[in-house]
């Protein structure tokens, strides 16, 4: 029997778990099986992940430390203790990232005639072209700021590229502060492509930082430049809104977004050539310590190299093109509503096309029999075809209601813009419930079929984002089953109106029933195991952090339930502890596509219930978000989800990392027959040629 309160040793620290996931992402850049330009892309993805880690997680720890928060996380650490553990791991990972870049990726790209030409290797022709580029494109828009009492240290934008310049001598006014700051405008490209005849190779690039280093003296006439050092500061990017004082969320948020660029500094990145005196000076300006300093051997922002794979026409150095197929149910019938009336339709992205989701809303917008459309949006693309169809539907006089989550982190501005366009077209736009992010993925179409109104719904594990639908694995379900559609209608009523939460027939919903029903389902398997019968749980998700759910899983394991968890990101549960979690296995799949599906399977004496959900097993998803978890009632659909969403991922021995009891992950690829879940699904579904929207 487990103790009433589990000791901290049974939990993994959240921040360390996130870094462990980023280590697995970084491993993709080291993998010789991954095409070379894709390896560069994984280095950029790692950088982007680390940016968000500092902007959100490290910023949160620093705020707690600043205000002496007594909060102790489930792993038993105070914020100060957690930061002390996190900092050395983050430094080690960043150092390793640049080692991969400089010692592996860049040299191998050079072997393939893709060169990043450093300043010391420019020939006379290149120097002349670069000088002309500087005077033509850069010089007119650069604003050097000399530091003195009339020119204090400038406000530096979050994650912007800047240069600290050491100077000697006096300017025209007799000033000799010795230090100036040059801010690189964000509109400037960070990597400039040289013409082939200038580069002397098919693909030659120079860094903006190299050009500025070479010509920075032109900005300080008559003075001697002793040194020029690139730097970048990362800031706290969480938005803080007062729920009680907020009258118009969109208006308040528009004002807050500008403040994000100037939140408290949490990290300083400098080139490793930057002397200690200058680093200390910059740290002082941002109120940071040596623990917050990251000296890097190269660009201070590798995310900007993400443009390179797309600009280099070398298919042999990239993943082979993949064209997703169209479900057979829809290939036979262009009328999507007729197809849904015949049967539930499962969509498995990115292996199957996202086009049916677009067609669902597009046909609804054009169909004179459709009276109303309701949809939630958490993240979507700037050129969203779905949004354009909703705008068209509103302009045609249909009742269009859109729940836009304005607080989708880092997508707030895009969502505000879409909300304004929808309102201008005559759609009803609401922002969900203040204090609870609307993370559920739902769309509902009300159509008159002969003399009856019928609701058609789409429920999904992923966002209505046509670009990420090609990169993230997700399931979507199109159905007109009456009880499911009534539940969806009730959830929309909660989001747009007022009143008590109604009792749903099939859907589990946060913040009301999802946590309770999930724990109950785990406990049911526990009781079955105690009676000596077969009991099994399989769950696939992005993150597992909730202490109550972890406790329920430990209880289930102790009772003999066989538990297999596929957790892409952070997992706070420790598997394989004798007497506690010896019946639990945890694995993480990291590959070409970002694993994003949430699937929950309970054996339940052979009934084999399977649920799909928008929610991970985290406190925020259970209690601070509006989420839905829906059962698969159609036997064929249920069988497909098990066969495609769980079974291959449990068999994967190509992209799988096994979690050990100490929280580390072990990668053991098969030395015999290799099997990759993503590769298998691509082979199964990617056979029909279908143009993507």
Query: Among all chains, which residue has been given the structure tokens 């029999």?
Result: 369
CA–CA separation, 39 vs 74, rounded Å?
36
Q: What 8-state DSSP symbol labels residue 207?
A: E
Active site residues: 439
Angle ∠(296,297,303) on CA atoms, nearest 5: 70
Cβ neighbours around 671 below 10 Å, total: 7
DSSP lists the bridge partners of residue 145 as 181
Q: Which of 219, 311, 235, 312 is CA-nearest to residue 268?
A: 235
Q: Dihedral of the CA atoms 393, 399, 403, 406 (nearest 10)?
A: 60
CA–CA separation, 51 vs 156, rounded Å?
16
Q: What is the distance of C-alpha 107 from the center of its chain? A: 29
Q: What are 437's two structure tokens?
A: 């992010």
CA–CA separation, 21 vs 17, rounded Å?
6
Q: What are 321's two structure tokens?
A: 């093109």
What are the counts of helices (DSSP H) followed by strands (DSSP E) for the chain? 23, 27
| Residues with Cβ within 8 Å of residue 114, at least 6 apart in sequence | 201, 202, 203, 205, 308, 312, 314
| Residues with Cβ within 8 Å of residue 316, at least 6 apart in sequence | 35
CA–CA separation, 304 vs 307, rounded Å?
7
CA–CA separation, 443 vs 478, rounded Å?
9
Pairing mode, strands 562-567 and 584-589: parallel
């Amino acid at each position: 029997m487990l103790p009433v309160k589990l000791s901290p040793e049974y939990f993994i620290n959240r921040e360390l778990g996130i870094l462990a996931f980023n280590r697995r992402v970084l491993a993709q850049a080291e993998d010789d099986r991954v095409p070379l330009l894709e390896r560069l892309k994984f280095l950029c993805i790692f950088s982007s992940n680390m940016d968000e880690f500092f902007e959100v997680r490290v910023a949160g720890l620093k705020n707690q430390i600043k205000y002496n928060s007594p909060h102790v996380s489930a792993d038993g650490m105070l914020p100060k203790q957690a930061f002390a553990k996190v900092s050395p791991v983050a430094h080690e990972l960043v150092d390793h990232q640049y080692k991969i870049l400089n010692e592996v990726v860049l040299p191998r790209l050079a072997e393939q005639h893709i060169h990043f030409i450093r300043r010391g290797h420019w020939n006379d022709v290149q120097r002349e072209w670069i000088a002309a580029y500087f005077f033509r494109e850069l010089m007119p828009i650069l604003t050097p700021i000399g530091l003195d009492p009339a020119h204090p240290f400038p406000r530096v934008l979050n994650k912007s590229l800047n240069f600290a310049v050491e100077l000697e001598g006096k300017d025209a006014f007799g000033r000799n502060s010795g230090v100036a700051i040059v801010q690189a405008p964000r509109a400037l490209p960070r990597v400039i492509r040289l013409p082939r005849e200038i580069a002397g190779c098919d693909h030659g690039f120079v860094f903006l930082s190299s050009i500025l280093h070479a010509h920075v003296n032109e900005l300080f006439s008559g003075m001697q430049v002793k040194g020029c050092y690139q730097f970048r500061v990362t800031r706290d990017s969480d938005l803080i809104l007062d729920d009680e004082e907020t009258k118009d969320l969109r208006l308040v948020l528009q004002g807050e977004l500008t403040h994000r660029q100037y939140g408290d500094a949490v990290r300083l990145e400098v080139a490793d050539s930057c002397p200690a005196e200058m680093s200390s000076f910059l740290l002082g300006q941002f109120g940071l310590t040596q623990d917050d300093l990251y000296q890097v051997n190269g660009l201070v922002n590798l995310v900007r190299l993400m443009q390179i794979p797309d600009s280099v026409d070398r298919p042999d150095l990239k993943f082979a093109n993949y064209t997703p197929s169209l479900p057979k149910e829809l290939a036979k019938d262009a009328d999507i509503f007729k197809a849904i009336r015949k049967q539930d339709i499962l969509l498995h992205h990115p292996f199957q096309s996202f086009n049916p989701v677009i067609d669902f809303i597009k046909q609804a917008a054009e169909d004179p029999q459709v009276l109303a459309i309701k949809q939630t949006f958490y993240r979507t693309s700037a050129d969203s075809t779905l949004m354009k169809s909703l705008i068209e539907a509103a302009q045609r006089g249909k009742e269009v209601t859109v729940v836009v989550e304005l607080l989708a982190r880092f997508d707030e501005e895009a969502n505000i813009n879409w909300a304004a366009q929808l309102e201008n077209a005559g759609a009803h736009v609401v922002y969900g419930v203040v204090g609870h992010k609307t993370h559920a993925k739902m769309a509902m179409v009300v159509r008159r079929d002969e003399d009856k109104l019928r609701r058609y719904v789409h429920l999904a594990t992923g966002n209505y984002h046509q670009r990420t639908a090609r990169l993230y694995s997700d399931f979507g379900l199109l159905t007109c089953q009456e009880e499911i559609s009534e539940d969806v209608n009730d959830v929309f009523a909660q989001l747009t109106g007022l009143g008590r939460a109604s009792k749903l027939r099939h859907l589990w919903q946060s913040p009301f029933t999802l946590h309770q029903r999930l724990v109950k389902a785990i406990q049911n398997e526990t009781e079955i195991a105690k009676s000596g019968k077969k009991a099994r749980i399989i769950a696939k998700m992005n993150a597992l952090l909730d202490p109550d759910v972890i406790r329920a899983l430990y209880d289930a394991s102790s009772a003999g339930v066989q538990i297999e968890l596929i957790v892409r990101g952070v997992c706070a549960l420790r598997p394989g502890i004798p007497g506690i979690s010896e019946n639990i296995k945890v694995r993480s799949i990291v590959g070409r596509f970002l694993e994003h599906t949430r699937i929950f399977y309970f054996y339940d004496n052979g009934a084999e219930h399977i649920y799909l959900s928008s929610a991970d097993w985290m406190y925020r998803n259970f209690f601070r978000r509006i989420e839905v978890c829906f059962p698969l009632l159609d036997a064929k659909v249920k069988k497909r989800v098990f066969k495609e969403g769980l079974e291959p991922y449990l068999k994967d021995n190509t992209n799988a990392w096994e979690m050990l009891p100490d929280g580390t992950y072990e990668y053991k690829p098969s030395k015999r027959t290799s099997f990759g879940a993503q590769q298998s699904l691509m082979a199964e579904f990617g056979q029909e040629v279908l143009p993507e929207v």
